[in-house]
Amino acid sequence: MHQCTDDSLLDLLGAGNVTVYAGFDPTASSLHLGHLLQICTLRRLQLAKNRPIALAGGGTGLIGDPSFKATERPLLTVEELNHNVLGIRSQLARFLDFTDSAGSSRALLLDNSAWLTTISLTDFLRDVGKHFSVNQMIARDSVKSRLDRADVGLSFTEFSYMLLQAYDFYRLHVDHGCTVQIGGSDQWGNIVGGIELIRKMTSHASFGLTSPLLLRSDGQKFGKSEGGNDRVWLDASLTSPFQLFQFLLNSDDETTPTLLRFFTFLSHEEISELDEKTQNSPQERAAQRALALAVVSLVHGDEAASSALRASEALFSESISELDEATLLEVVADAPSTNVNRDEVGSGLDAVELLVRTKLAASKAEARRFLDQRGVYVNNVRIEPTDAITLDHVLHSRYLILRRGRHQTHLIVLS
């Protein structure tokens, strides 16, 4: 927990029977690891007999949340948005219990476009806008940087976002008895706006709860994937189960305890046992492995998790060229692959060419750089800048494992 509007809230949630919501704006077609934190919290609260509402932001996504964003963002087209809403709705549906067996804590999946796109402008301004003071709104930290900076502005569209989110909370309160909103720490201002709106319009009390921004021990934002600016997605076609597994396995020692607590549903005993192992024998990475296994299970299922674990161990601990064919294929199942004509290899294939073709290098110049820096491996054996790739490298008469750097693996299949 990062901030909480009222300390009595925790007792309330412990007792159960509270309706809680978290919103997810469809800025992309998939949710990412950052969203998983809110999802886990909802799930945890559901396990404690509260009723979770997952709200897809089909309406708020039309506007765009300016909170703590450095610049105005381009608007998504309606087509993109619909596509994204579809994607994240189906993902949200996987994490909570929507069946009748959950009884009074059965989860709800809603989309705020249902009310945001139908309310009339004048109704909205009279009923909702009247309760907001611009004086207070411009004082919020979440928009302050945009107002203070000399080179960027803040459009009325984005400025209004807070009202929409506040109205969401109000509608969920009135229609579904929702009294708590959770979110990341950047959502504090928006959540408080909703609480005040509910108080002014109904004189009911409601609550907010935010979670801390997850940081790695080096201060970077958590959740950016290996290889740059891409996020770690929950959609298997964007981030494969193996990649997700590896990402979590590579968590550093300092953040792993926090991640275990946020993202897994292990018992207190199990977690403190893992903490101890990290203390005493960090090189075993027991906590990281448990974390990776638990999260991949949660997101992609047990089977995907155990095969990711097997692949991970095989790929890094054994000499890959000694694996039998079936095991080898399983290890690289998630890796991207490319077909190459057998004849090309027969005459000796240029490594530069192959790196570009497999997209392991973005250009020939980059491929040469990797080779010069001695960062290219065939079947886990480093090759020299001048080496050609020949039939001698081929495993099981049709496979080549090409790797760039520590983590980028590619399967080449001869045809």
Q: Does 243 bind RNA (CB under 7 A)?
A: no
> Looking at this protein, which amino acid is placed at residue 322?
E
Q: Does 118 bind RNA (CB under 7 A)?
A: no
Q: Does 226 bind RNA (CB under 7 A)?
A: yes
Minimum distance from residue 10 beta carbon to RNA (Å): 32
Task: Please classify residue 315 by burial: count the beta carbons closer than 10 Å to its beta carbon, then call 0-12 exposed, 13-18 middle and 19+ buried.
Answer: buried
Query: Residue from 190, 243, 251, 358 that binds RNA (CB under 7 A)?
Result: 251
> Which residue, 117 or 217, is less far from RNA as judged by CB?
217
> Which residue, 136 or 250, is less far from RNA as judged by CB?
250
Residues 6+ apart with CB under 8 A from 179: 18, 19, 20, 173, 204, 205, 206, 207
Measured distance CA(261)–CA(360) in Å, rounded: 35
Minimum distance from residue 155 beta carbon to RNA (Å): 6
> Which residue, 198 or 367, is less far from RNA as judged by CB?
367
> Which residue, 98 or 316, is less far from RNA as judged by CB?
316
Beta bridge mates, 53: 21, 108
Measured distance CA(80)–CA(235) in Å, rounded: 17
Q: Does 160 bind RNA (CB under 7 A)?
A: no
Task: Please classify residue 119 by burial: count the beta carbons closer than 10 Å to its beta carbon, then call 0-12 exposed, 13-18 middle and 19+ buried.
Answer: middle
DSSP state of 165: H
DSSP state of 77: P
Q: Does 277 bind RNA (CB under 7 A)?
A: no
Query: Residue from 364, 381, 398, 413 that binds RNA (CB under 7 A)?
Result: 364
Minimum distance from residue 313 beta carbon to RNA (Å): 5
Contact mark string toward RNA, 55..94, x via CB under 7 A: -----------------x----------------------
Query: Residue from 4, 316, 330, 388 that binds RNA (CB under 7 A)?
Result: 316
> Which residue, 313 or 384, is less far from RNA as judged by CB?
313
**Which residue stretch of 32-40, 114-122, 163-171, 223-231 sits at the interface with RNA (rule: CB under 7 A)?**
223-231
Query: Residue from 83, 102, 368, 385 that binds RNA (CB under 7 A)?
Result: 368
Q: Does 144 bind RNA (CB under 7 A)?
A: no
Q: Does 231 bind RNA (CB under 7 A)?
A: no
Q: Does 276 bind RNA (CB under 7 A)?
A: no
Token reading at 175: 């229609």
Q: Does 253 bind RNA (CB under 7 A)?
A: yes
> Which residue, 165 or 251, is less far from RNA as judged by CB?
251
**Which residue stretch of 53-61, 194-202, 220-228, 343-351 sits at the interface with RNA (rule: CB under 7 A)?**
220-228
Minimum distance from residue 53 beta carbon to RNA (Å): 35
Q: Does 283 bind RNA (CB under 7 A)?
A: yes
**Which residue stretch of 38-46, 236-244, 363-371, 388-396 sits at the interface with RNA (rule: CB under 7 A)?**
363-371
Q: For residue 411, what are the CA distances in angstroms to 82, 319, 353, 354? A: 35, 16, 15, 11
Beta bridge mates, 207: 180
Provide Rg for the chain, Cα atoms.
25
* Site size toward RNA, by CB under 7 A: 49
> Looking at this protein, which amino acid is placed at residue 167?
Y
Q: Across 191-281, where does the E strand assignment appear?
A: 207-211
Token reading at 127: 């009923």
Half-sphere exposure of residue 128: CA atoms within 13 angstroms, side-chain side? 23
Token reading at 122: 């004048």
Q: Does 262 bind RNA (CB under 7 A)?
A: no
Minimum distance from residue 281 beta carbon to RNA (Å): 9
Query: Residue from 177, 227, 346, 348 that binds RNA (CB under 7 A)?
Result: 227
Beta bridge mates, 22: 54
Beta bridge mates, 249: none
Q: For residue 186, what are the CA distances in angstroms to 148, 190, 259? A: 18, 8, 19
Measured distance CA(235)–CA(31) in Å, rounded: 7
Q: Does 217 bind RNA (CB under 7 A)?
A: yes
Q: Does 139 bind RNA (CB under 7 A)?
A: no
Element (H, E) at 357: helix 351-357
Element (H, E) at 52: strand 51-56
Interface with RNA (CB under 7 A): 72, 150-155, 216-218, 220, 224, 226-229, 246, 249-254, 282-283, 285, 288, 312-313, 315-317, 356, 362-366, 368-370, 373-375, 404-408
